Structures are given as C-alpha cells and as structure tokens.
Amino acid sequence: MVKGLINIIITILVLSGFYTEVQPHSIIDLDYVISEGEPFFVIGNWWGLPKGVSFEDLKNAGFNFTGVSCWDPKEIEIVHRLGMKGGVYIGRRMDQDRYPKSDIDAKMKEILGHPGLLCWYGRDESNDKDGAPISGLLKGYRYVKQKDPNHVIWQNYAGCGDQFTNRKDVWNWSSLKARHRHADVLSMHCYPVGREVTTKNLKTIAQVGELVEILKSTLIEKGIQTKPIWCILQGYEKDKGIYPDFHQTRFMAYDAIIHGATGIIYYYTHSLNKAHPLWRYITKVTEELNSIYHVLTSREGVKDISIEYDRSLDVNVLEKGDFPFRLGIWLLSKRCKDGCIYLLTENNATLPIRQVKFKLPRLKKGKVEVLFEDRTLPIKDGEFRDNFKPFEIHVYKIKEA
C-alpha cells in the first residue's frame, strides 16, 4: 500500500514537471544516466547502420547504445540480446499543440516496457523558430512520462554553424534554459571537419568541448549540474568530401568527455560502409573508450592534482557578448576501484605545449603508464612531465601506493 502511494505521488510530480527521476530502468542522477542501478556512459550510434555493419558488429566495436526502429521490435530485441541499449525516436510528434496523442502512442506501442530500452528521443533541434513552442513540447514530455515514467527523454540542440551559434535571432539563454524542461538528458551536435563554420569563438575541432561547456553552463544550479549531457559527433563528411581523420576523431571524443559529456553518439554513419576509413577510425575510438569504461563511469575525482606549464601559451577566447573559453591544457581525473588514478588530458590549442607538469603530492615516486601509446613516464618528487602537440590527447594510468 505504501509503495502504491509513493508511485501515485511520483506520477503526480512527473505530470507537474517537478520530478523526472523515476526507478527502475533509466533515470538521471545529476550528470549521469543511471541504467539498472549503475551509471551508464553512452558509446553510441545514431539511427541507421553503415553498409555491411550489423548490430553485432557495433557491439564488438565497443558500442553499447544505438537508435532503433519504433516500428520493428526485432531491432531492440537483437540489441537487448547483445547486451546493448536502444533509443526510440518520437521526434516532432512530441509537440502536443500540433499532433494528437495517438501519434505518440503509435511510436511507443511496440517498444514500451522492453528491457532493452534506454531512452525516448524528443523533438530534434528544438528552437524558438521551428514551429514547436515550448508549451507543446512540455505537454508531450509530460504525456510520455505518464505512459513511461521508467525511462529518460533525450533532447538534442543544434550546435556549431546551426541554430545555436550563427543565427542569433533563434537562440537566447533564457529560451535554452526553458527548453531544458521538456527533456531529462540534453545534447548538442558538432560536425566541424570540412565546414567553414564557427561556434561563438572557434573555428577548430575544439569547438566540441566549447559547446559542452556552453550547454553545461545553462544546467548549473547552486553550483550543481542538474542533468546529463551527451555529445553528437561527426560520423560523415559534412561538406567538400572531407572526412575527419583518426587524430581528429579521437580528439573530438575525448574533448567532449573531458569537458563533461557522459555520452557520445556518432551521427549519420549510415552514409559510410564497413570498409570506409572514417568507420575504422570511429570503431578504433569506441573500442578504446570501451576498454576504459570503468573510468568513464567512475564518479570519484581526484582533488590533490595540479597542473603547471607556461600559462602565457593559453589563449582566452572571448568576444563581446559571447561565451568565455580557454585554450590550453585541460584535465579530467578519475579514481577507480582497481586502485588506480586515471587522468584524461588534452591540449585544445593550435600550438604545442611542452613540459607540462602534473603534480601529485601523495605519490613521491613510481611510474605513469600512458595508455594507448605504449610508453611510461617516471614520477619523481610527486610529479611527472609530458609534452602535447596541438589537439593531442594523453590518457594516464597511475597506481596508487
């Protein structure tokens, strides 16, 4: 009886828009989606597979999430049997000022309650001039939560070169924050390679991390991030037949993660085939991320680490009215249950930065394993040093004494 009363109260709160974190299948806990009781870091593929690639190939390449058809339940069943999760696209039907509830019902009917489901996907690239007012999307959000309070709703915003940055008549901060109300998980897409576009400050691939920081800034309340952020990454050629190379593909993934994304999803990979170089680069990155999944899902940081280098090499980009952003060395630290500290680091600047000093006072000596590079560095007097090329990533593993 008590449990039933609690469920009634939760349902009322969901419908009123005050509560979105409902057990048991997928909920949000600040910066992570929690699936089946554990933090879930999304290593994902958008809807559609490259030619010659199966769901099993995705699994073998380290993916744990993919978009699935709402009309063919066989897809999510295959994904579930492989130990992956699926997302279902509701899209513009979320706008309940324009479409009937029966449209949402039809999209949810075959998938509702399936154990392979992670999330529902809402209105794509929601903005102030797309004909989808906040009121209609909020009604759709509440209706989906009424039908399924056990799974999160994910919303993506356009990133570089699209509504968010270059068309100032479309976006404003208050509108962006208001639109967060009709989703549990937020993402932005960023496809910078082969495009002559910018974010508010950047023309480089470091705009991925900048967009994550921009989105994160709209989710901070009393110093706490209130919803998870995912990042939609480039899985195709945007313009001029230019595809990201491996160096760019790897950097953009880690750039998103270091700046706070707890999920990455590759977009439009169905335009590729299994032998395409970009698909090989993507799967090399996803295999790498899967191998450190315990790091990506760790929620414990390391406080007593500092970085020293020539700060005159930093570039602080800020134009009048735009978002401040620093180019230089960035660090994400994680402490894991295997007794090791992991440091995910980057140089997001266009110039090399040498002799970067990492200080760990508690570790007087030992060695640092540089993952995926087949090299080690000595720890001496509680510190080690390394060099960074432009847009270079280093992942360090340090065993705690």
As a whole number of angstroms, the distance between CA 113 and CA 224 comes to 31
Structure tokens at 320: 């009048």
Residue 19 has pLDDT above 80, yes or no: no
pLDDT computed for residue 196 by the predictor: 61
pLDDT computed for residue 199 by the predictor: 59
pLDDT tens across 259-288, in order?
Answer: 999 999 999 999 999 999 999 999 999 999
Residue 214 has pLDDT above 90, yes or no: no
- Average pLDDT in the chain: 87
As a whole number of angstroms, the distance between CA 43 and CA 285 comes to 10
Residue 381 has pLDDT above 90, yes or no: yes
Task: Give the pLDDT mean for 317-328.
Answer: 72
pLDDT computed for residue 25 by the predictor: 67
As a whole number of angstroms, the distance between CA 225 and CA 237 comes to 33
Residue 321 has pLDDT above 80, yes or no: no
Q: Which of the pair, 307 or 177, is modelled with greater confidence?
A: 307
Q: Which of the pair, 164 or 245, is modelled with greater confidence?
A: 245
Task: Give the pLDDT mean for 331-349.
Answer: 97
Cα maximum dimension of the chain: 67
pLDDT computed for residue 258 by the predictor: 98
Q: Are the C-beta atoms of residues 119 and 33 closer than 8 Å to each other? A: yes
The band of 159, judged by pLDDT with boundaries at 50, 70 and 90, is confident
- CA 166, 168, 173, 176 torsion: positive or negative? negative
Residue 229 has pLDDT above 90, yes or no: yes
The band of 8, judged by pLDDT with boundaries at 50, 70 and 90, is very low
How many residues belong to the chain?
A: 401
Structural domain boundaries in the chain: 20-296, 306-399
pLDDT computed for residue 322 by the predictor: 60
The band of 122, judged by pLDDT with boundaries at 50, 70 and 90, is very high
pLDDT tens across 44-57, in order?
Answer: 999 999 999 999 99
pLDDT computed for residue 364 by the predictor: 85
Task: Give the pLDDT mean for 180-193.
Answer: 91
Q: What's the topology of domain 306-399? A: Immunoglobulin-like (2.60.40)
Q: Which of the pair, 376 or 361, is modelled with greater confidence?
A: 376
Highest mean pLDDT among 22-36, 279-293, 309-323: 279-293
Shared fold status for 20-296 and 306-399:
no
Q: What's the topology of domain 20-296? A: TIM Barrel (3.20.20)
Structure tokens at 72: 């063919």
Residue 18 has pLDDT above 90, yes or no: no
